[in-house]
């Protein structure tokens, strides 16, 4: 790669000593991107932007928040009522978490549909799963900070999951709490870690980008870029497309922040935490509901906890569970149907997780949990071997340019 | 490459000594890292002031038969219930074979009329209902956990639902006939 000739003398001087401008030119302008990316490819950059929004609003909220059991709830209410634009910054942060998960879940399912995790992008996918786990830990600890009833009992139930570990379980839970129940030491450390983890996410996102730029984006056809006629520079083409998508996203996001800011929230979290009274119906935030349903589907405490963690850990080995050589579901007619069954299954799990474990919800949750693991552990390995994929086009350009070129 | 270099020097025992130094240095590094990690891990465990709050004294005088009070011990609710004759008999009459976590009632109360329990469900830590007269007490007349539906009997033993164990009996002592110290 030849260093580009910059017109500005100062830029040339800096770039010779610190090649940031060459780097940006190489990774944005020269970076060849498949020319057939659809809007499903917007959600990666969108997730990055939401991460920046969350960090920015979070740093400002920390300037007025007090991490103490006696003051936390009141300090959040003070942010809402007395602090200038406090309501705005908090509602952006609070709903930003929900939108972050919406964007990331779409990004993950896009990866599943188009086989984005297949060679040579396995590590790219695994880094993404690491980001998901860090996001879940961050979101959980952030939800505890306002110290409402759901904060407190969510923290109690989730930390108690670790008590299911044989022998050392109780010791670990006491260690996590820094006491004998969720209390001030717990709140303090959750605040500390809630501030730290987003920066770890930034670090893993950077690795995710390094891995991405090694082989470039996949594309809806799932075939490799075969030459310059198949790609266009990222900038200005995809910066423009991403910006348009960002505009649409921000309209929806602002719509919720301004007109339905508590849409995703639980009213019980506006009641101050009371360690003596558990609310009659406790549920986690919506983005954890499917995992919660899996936890409750199994009547044994330890096995339930194992199943819940396994539902995410199975994603780490997804690149090796899927035996199909063809990446895109566009050319896998059978897989395409089962992909949508999995999407519906996840919604069913979410619905079951939101409801009390009684009556037909119990058996529905158990069937949906069994299907979730069946999809990854049995269906994907077998389907890759027996499915007959449709013929792949010869190149990204071929279907479009064939009449003009007259040859393949 | 490495083999070629060793071969030219012709000293197999030199390689062994180098390996030993690597292992010894690596081993010391691990010991050092563990020594540094220990204070950080211990830092997160309960501090002296938290440990100092680990006993609570309760005056039992105002509690009438059939009544229950909830006190705080180590930040957790503790149920103190003065059981009626019928409740004690029901608990004592239950065969151990009917219990998921078998324990006779006599092993759970120092004085049969006073039942003292940590009011934390052994499933995932919610506070079971049953202390107030209007609360649901579950199918066995003791406590009912609303989170995931565990039923406890009049001895606080698990009878039905996902909880694996009986409600915990904290360490306590009768200081006199009407005062107990928990912890």
- Between CA A265 and CA A376 the distance in angstroms is 31
Q: What distance in Å separates residue A303's CA from the closest CA in chain B?
A: 11
Centre a 10 Å sphere on the Cβ of residue A29 and count the other Cβ atoms it contains. 13
Which residues in chain A come in under a pLDDT of 50?
1, 405-408
Axis crossing angle, helix A149-160 with helix A169-177, rounded to the nearest 10: 150
How far CA A275 is from CA of A20, A148, B119, B135, in Å, comes to 53, 10, 11, 18
Looking at the predicted structure, is the pLDDT value of residue B75 above 90?
A: no
Strand partners, B68: B81
User: CB-based contacts of A294: which residues, under 8 Å, 6+ apart?
Assistant: A304, A307, A308, A311, A349, A365, A369, A372
Residues of B in contact with A175 (CB under 8 A): 41, 44-45
User: CB-based contacts of B77: which residues, under 8 Å, 6+ apart?
Assistant: A275, A276, B70, B71, B118, B119, B120, B127
Q: Across the A/B interface, how many CB contacts are shorter than 8 Å? A: 81
| pLDDT tens-digit readout, B93-137 | 888 888 888 989 888 988 888 999 999 998 888 899 888 888 888
- What is the sign of the dihedral through the CA atoms of A165, A167, A172 and A174? positive
What pLDDT, on a 0 to 100 scale, did the predictor assign at position A406? 45
What pLDDT, on a 0 to 100 scale, did the predictor assign at position A407? 45
| pLDDT tens-digit readout, A191-226 | 999 999 999 999 999 999 999 999 999 999 999 998
pLDDT band at B64 (very low <50, low <70, confident <90, very high): confident
User: Token match 């063809």: residue?
Assistant: A326
* B9, A147 contact by CB (below 8 A): no
Q: What distance in Å separates residue A265's CA from the closest CA in chain B?
A: 19
User: Token match 């830029």: residue?
Assistant: A11
Strand partners, B71: B78
Task: Give, rounded to a whole angstrom, the gap between the first and last alpha carbons of chain A.
Answer: 29
What pLDDT, on a 0 to 100 scale, did the predictor assign at position A243? 95
Residues of A in contact with B38 (CB under 8 A): none
Strands (E), B4-146: 56-59, 68-73, 76-82, 114-118, 141-145
Helix, strand, coil percentages for chain B (3-state, nearest 5) = 35, 25, 45
What pLDDT, on a 0 to 100 scale, did the predictor assign at position A403? 56
CA angle B116, B122, B126 (to 5 degrees): 90
Q: Do A275 and B147 make contact, defined as CB atoms within 8 angstroms?
A: no
pLDDT band at B9 (very low <50, low <70, confident <90, very high): low
**Which positions 72-131 of A are in contact with B (Cβ < 8 Å)?**
none
* A150, A268 contact by CB (below 8 A): yes
- What is the sign of the dihedral through the CA atoms of A181, A183, A185 and A189? positive
What pLDDT, on a 0 to 100 scale, did the predictor assign at position A244? 96
């Amino acid at each position: 790669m030849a260093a580009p000739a910059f017109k500005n003398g100062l830029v040339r001087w800096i770039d010779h000593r610190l090649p940031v401008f060459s780097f940006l030119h190489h990774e944005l302008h020269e970076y060849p991107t498949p020319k057939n990316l659809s809007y499903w490819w917007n959600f990666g950059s969108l997730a990055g932007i939401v991460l920046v929004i969350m960090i920015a609003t979070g740093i400002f909220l920390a300037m007025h928040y007090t991490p103490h059991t006696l003051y936390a709830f009141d300090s959040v209410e003070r942010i809402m009522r007395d602090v200038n634009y406090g309501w705005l910054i908090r509602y952006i942060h609070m709903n930003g978490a929900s939108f972050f998960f919406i964007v990331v879940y779409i990004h993950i399912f896009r990866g599943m549909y188009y086989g984005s995790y297949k060679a040579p992008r396995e590590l790219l996918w695994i880094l993404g799963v690491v980001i998901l786990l860090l996001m879940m830990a961050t979101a959980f600890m952030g939800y505890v900070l306002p110290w409402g009833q759901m904060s407190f009992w969510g923290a109690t139930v989730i930390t108690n999951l670790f008590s299911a570990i044989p022998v050392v379980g109780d010791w670990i839970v006491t260690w996590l709490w820094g006491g004998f129940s969720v209390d001030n030491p717990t709140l303090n450390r959750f605040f500390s870690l809630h501030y730290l983890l987003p920066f770890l996410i930034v670090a893993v996102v950077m690795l995710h980008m390094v891995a991405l730029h090694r082989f470039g984006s996949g594309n809806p056809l799932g075939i490799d870029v075969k030459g310059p006629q198949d790609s266009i520079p990222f900038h200005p083409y995809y910066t423009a497309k991403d910006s348009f998508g960002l505009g649409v996203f921000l309209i929806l996001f602002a719509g919720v922040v301004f007109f339905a800011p508590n849409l995703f929230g639980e009213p019980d979290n506006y009641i101050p935490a009371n360690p003596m009274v558990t609310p009659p119906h406790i549920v986690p935030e919506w983005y954890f509901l499917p995992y919660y349903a899996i936890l409750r589907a199994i009547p044994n405490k330890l096995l339930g906890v194992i199943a819940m963690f396994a539902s995410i850990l199975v994603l780490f080995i997804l690149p090796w569970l899927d035996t199909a050589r063809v990446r895109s579901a566009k050319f896998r007619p059978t897989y395409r149907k089962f992909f949508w069954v999995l999407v519906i299954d996840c919604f069913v799990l979410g619905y079951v997780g939101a409801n009390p474990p009684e009556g037909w919800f119990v058996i529905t949750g158990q069937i949906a949990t069994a299907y979730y693991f069946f999809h990854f552990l049995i269906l994907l390995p077998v389907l890759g071997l027996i499915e007959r994929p449709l013929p792949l086009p010869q190149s990204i350009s071929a279907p479009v340019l064939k009449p003009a070129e007259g040859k393949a | 490459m490495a083999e070629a270099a060793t071969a030219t020097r012709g000293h197999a025992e030199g390689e062994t000594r180098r390996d030993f130094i690597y292992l010894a240095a690596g081993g010391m590094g691990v010991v050092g890292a563990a020594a540094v990690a220990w204070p950080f891990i211990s830092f997160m465990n309960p501090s002296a002031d938290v440990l100092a709050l680990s006993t609570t004294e309760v005056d039992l005088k105002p509690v009438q038969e059939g009544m229950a009070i909830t006190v705080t011990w180590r930040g957790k609710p503790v149920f103190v219930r003065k059981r009626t004759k019928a409740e004690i008999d029901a608990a004592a009459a239950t065969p151990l074979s009917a219990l998921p976590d078998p324990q006779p009632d006599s092993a759970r109360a120092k004085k049969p009329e006073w039942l003292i329990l940590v009011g934390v469900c052994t499933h995932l830590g919610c506070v079971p209902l049953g202390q107030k007269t209007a609360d649901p007490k579950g199918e066995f007349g003791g406590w009912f956990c609303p989170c995931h539906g565990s039923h406890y009997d009049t001895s606080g033993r698990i009878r039905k639902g996902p909880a694996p164990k009986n409600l915990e009996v904290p360490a306590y002592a009768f200081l006199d006939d009407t005062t107990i110290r928990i912890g």
